[in-house]
Structure 1
Amino acid sequence: MKRLILLSFLATFSFCSDAQTKKSPKTLSAEHLKKYTSYFTIENGGFKGKGTKTIKNLVNSSQFITYGEIHGSYQVSAITKAFMPLLKKAGFNHFAIEVGPTSAKKLTELSTPAEKTVENLKAFNSKYTVSKGKESAHPIPFFDAVSDAEFLQEARANGMQLWGLDQEYYYATFFLVDELMRTVEGTSEASRLTSLKNTAIQIMYKHFLDEVTEKIDDAYPLIVKEKAVNDFFDAFPKDNKEAQEIINNMKISWDIYIRWRNDSHVDRISYIRNNFMKHYNEALAKEKKPKVFTKIGSLHASKILSNGAFDIGNLTEELAQRNKTQSTAITTWIPFKQTEKGLVNNFEKYKRNYARYSMITPLAQKDQWAIVNLKEVREQIIKGKVALPTNGDYHKLKRLIWGYDYLIMPSVDQENTPNRTN
């Protein structure tokens, strides 16, 4: 009996010793990440360099690509433009954007024919943008610059259909009112509605001016209560479906803005998701598995919980899993930017934001784009071949690596040129 117990003890001891001598996975490091990073440039609107293979592979293997952008970046517009021919070749027909449904329809109109896009957007922005110094109130966000018009032109030239996902922008009201009036041009209601419109516009303008001069905090809580505004909306015939849709989109957008301090963010995200699904289901009637390229702020592109909501990156991941296809989420960092005051290193300027990513930031280059394959890094972690650090960096790194499949860091960014006269 003693002998059996002793043999059992020795066998157990031997097993424990073997387990203890097995190598633990190496902690993720900059050297490790280099293996999953490739570089490219964008020349004459196309990709050049080793990283091109990574770009083409992700396009060709995906049903959904959710490109998480940094708003207002010239380089983001450049890469969006460069994506378009690859997307067309891979069978993508749909381009979802972070604007309201009516705004997307307007952009479709302004980009028809495609070669008139820059010219048409310039006239539109010049008419509806209000500027003072460097501050501007745009009617449609993220389509104010020449580079924005150029990627839109390329998208439309490659047959992309635009999907408007978001609420209508805060400063879209005056252009939307004009769109409303276009629905009654040449009808018997036009004259009366014009009179109602003029009264409503004057009241709206007064509240906006009071907000700008800080007499009030927000204009919309007052605008929605104005009798003249509601009389104007109510005067549109109920069978005018186009007008009713515009009015509904405006009211939803205003409500989200009014409640922004009271958790309306999740209502906004639900609106984005619902608009995506509306377009997607319409596309399903014509295509078995519609391919969609979405350009949206980086937080929205995450596959996991982001800012308290399961955003569009999460939705497309769910759809891909259901379809047994692939959804690719990309996030963007802008390491360097050339400004009037010289070259700015954003990793230094925003040290607190990037402090936990010290193993990633050295991968950025000033003269070429870096693309980090986070998907492969994630797979290595899941397989136990590499481990996340156990200090505080763990949390931000895991959120990044589990939220996105690729990180793109452009070469030096630059200031945008406004596509308007004012």
Structure 2
Amino acid sequence: MKKYISFLLMMLTYYSFSQQNDEIIQKSTYYFSIDTKGILVGDGADFIKNKIAESHFFLIGEQHNIHAIETLVSTLIPHFKKNGYQNYVTEIGPISANKLTELKQNSLPLKSYYSKYIEQTNLPTFGFFGTKEEEKTLELLNQYNINLWGIDFENYSSYLALIDEIYKNADKGKISKELYKNVYSFIETEYRKGHNNYNPELMNHILKSQHVNQFLIAAKNDRTSSLIEQFKLSLEINHQQTLGFWQPRVDNMKKNFAEYYHTQQIEDRDVKTFVKLGAVHIARGTSYNGHLEIGNMIYELANINQLTSFSIIMFPRYLVNSETKKVEDVIEQEDMEILHYTTPDKWTIINLGQLQELSIQNGIKLSKDILSYIEKYDAIIIPPATKYSEIIK
């Protein structure tokens, strides 16, 4: 009987704690929708707008290539402009950022530029901005005169485009068309050796190619120096990633961000920046892969300068199956508690700062999974049922 009573008391205690957790999660959950005119409506909409207005650094850590997430990003761009944000930070290289800006300033569709390379790589030329939703974002950035910062290395699928860019800016008297064609053909062949659109040896083979090195030496001038530097650096970083070394990429992202930020500060001391990267990159403290990522650097930069940063992790719970067209709940077990009040028909925000305050005020201990989110981000946003983004082909 004593064992039964002890078990019963334990179950009642567990139920009480579980109910308390449930209550403070519900109090910290808001909702919003986007109407047919692209206007954000609801308590959650007011929360986002207020955080945009209060912050100097607004960070979104996304699951890539999700239609609803990119639609929200496009919808928010006018709000960022209204609140003085001048810069949009994304997961591409600096050369890619310059080229994309040039294409949109000249009103050129991305498809026409990508068509030369897509057959060889079977991937978007710059890695990102390979969807119709992202192209709309790019058009809005151009429309609202917001700078595009590319802080990552040049993507795996960009090397043929980079060779073209280097050749275009080289002194034609110093480099033969035959050498250019040989280099281009060599890299094409390396791409085609890949399995599932990826050849892990490609970067190292390009770095060690005598023809490529001869081409780069011959092409070097004032116009191509930075292009060649980024080309070689990106090959090195990407090659090191294939060997399991992540830190060089982290260091490069921090360096590029610092250079953009410093340059912008010379022109305007009040630099306001919107950052959209993969969720792992914007984490505070140590990220899930064990590194101090760019998100932590931005958080520290804000603290040092007595500014405000706000970070959101954003991923889908409800995905539309592309074949059956049915909505599937893809929630992971460890997220069941924190996402309890999400629904497939509304945007959901969990205010992690408020959840932490309620936990402390009421003496309620949260799970390790929830604490991990609170330590790394300020909010979670879950879109309504969504499809994947539409690839530019």
**TM-score normalized with structure 2 length:** 0.89
- Equivalent-residue separation in structure 1 for 2:257 and 2:200 (angstroms): 32
2:262 to 281, 299, 311: 281
Contact 2:66–2:387 (Cα < 8 Å) also in 1: yes
Q: How many Å apart are 1:33 and its aligned residue?
A: 1.1
User: Shift in Å at residue 131 of structure 1?
Assistant: 7.8
Question: Where does residue 12 of structure 1 map in the other structure?
Answer: none
* Aligned equivalent of 1:395: 368
CA contact (8 A) 2:132 2:390 kept: yes
Amino acid at match of 1:218: E
* Aligned residue type for 2:129: F
Pairing 1:247-286 to 2, within 5 Å after superposition: 247-286=228-267
Residues 247 and 256 of structure 1: is their aligned pair in 2 closer, same or farther, counting only changes over 3 Å?
same
Does structure 1 conserve the Cα–Cα contact (< 8 Å) formed by 2:200 and 2:239? no
Letter in 2 for 1:42: I
| Corresponding residue of 1:206 | 189
**AA partner of residue 41 (structure 1):** S
Tell me how far 1:27 sits from its aligned partner.
Answer: 7.8
Residue in 2 aligned with 1:76? 69
Corresponding position of 2:102? 109
Change in CA separation of 1:195 and 1:203 when aligned onto 2, cut-off 3 Å: same
Specify the code of the residue in structure 2 equivalent to 1:405: D
Q: Does 2:303 align with 1:321?
A: yes
Alignment of 1:223-234 (within 5 A): 223-234=206-217
Q: Does residue 78 of structure 2 align to residue 85 of structure 1?
A: yes
- How far has the Cα of 1:365 moved from its partner? 1.3
Counting only pairs closer than 5 Å after superposition, residues 287-298 of structure 1 correspond to structure 2 as 287-298=268-279
Task: State whether residues 90 and 151 of structure 2, in contact with CA within 8 Å, keep that contact through their aligned partners in structure 1.
Answer: yes
Deviation, 1:342, is 2.7
Whichever residue aligns with residue 107 of structure 1, its letter is L
TM-aligned CA deviation for residue 25 of structure 1: 9.2
Give, in whole Å, the separation in 2 of the partners of 1:363 and 1:328.
22
Show CA shifts across 1:200-246 (max 9, x none): 11222222222349997522222211110100001123x42x31111
**Runs of at least 5 residues in structure 1 that lack an aligned partner in the other structure:** 1-23, 349-353
Provide Cα deviations, 1:117-149, integer angstroms capped at 9, x if missing partner: xx52121222322389xxx32211221221111
Amino acid at match of 2:311: A
CA contact (8 A) 1:62 1:328 kept: yes
Superposed displacement of residue 295, structure 1: 0.7
User: What's 1:11 paired with?
Assistant: none
Structure 1 residue 95 corresponds to structure 2 residue 88? yes
What RMSD, in angstroms, separates the aligned Cα atoms of the two structures?
Answer: 2.3
3-state DSSP class of the match of 1:337?
strand
> Which letter maps to 2:364?
A
Q: Distance in 2 between matches of 1:310 and 1:175?
A: 31
- Cα distance in 1 for residues equivalent to 2:17 and 2:342: 26
Aligned length: 375
2:346 equivalent in structure 1: 368
Where does residue 388 of structure 2 map in the other structure? 415
**Greater Rg over alpha carbons, structure:** 1
- Cα displacement (A) at 1:46: 2.5
Query: Which moves more between the two structures, 162-171 or 142-151?
Result: 142-151
Tell me the CA shift for residue 384 of structure 1. Answer: 4.5
Judged with a 3 Å threshold, the aligned counterparts in structure 2 of structure 1 residues 357 and 217 are, in CA distance, closer, same or farther, namely closer
Contact 2:123 2:197 in 1 (8 A): no
Alignment-derived partner of residue 317 in structure 2 = 335
Q: Could you say if the C-alpha distance between residues 213 and 33 of structure 1 is closer, same or farther in structure 2, counting changes exceeding 3 Å?
A: closer
Change (3 A) 1:261 1:120: closer
| 1:58 aligns to 2:51 (yes or no) | yes
Given candidates 333, 354, 362, the residue that maps to 1:385 is: 362
Aligned to 1:405: 378
C-alpha offsets along residues 336-369 of structure 1, whole Å, 9 cap, x if unaligned? 1112223243435xxxxx2122222222111110
Change in 2 beyond 3 A, CA 1:292/1:28: farther
Q: Which moved more, 1:406-415 or 1:42-51?
A: 42-51
Which residue number corresponds to residue 225 of structure 2? 244
**Secondary structure of the corresponding residue to residue 362 of structure 1:** coil
The within-5 A match list for 1:209-224 is 209-212=192-195, 217-224=200-207
What are the superposed Cα offsets for residues 269-296 of structure 1, whole Å, 9 maximum, x if unpaired?
Answer: 1101110000000011011130000110
Task: Choose which of 138, 141, 144 in structure 2 pairs with 1:158.
Answer: 144
1:180 aligns with one of 166, 191, 198: 166
Asked if the contact 1:388–1:398 (Cα under 8 Å) also holds between the matched residues in 2, the reply is no
For 2:23, the aligned partner's letter is E
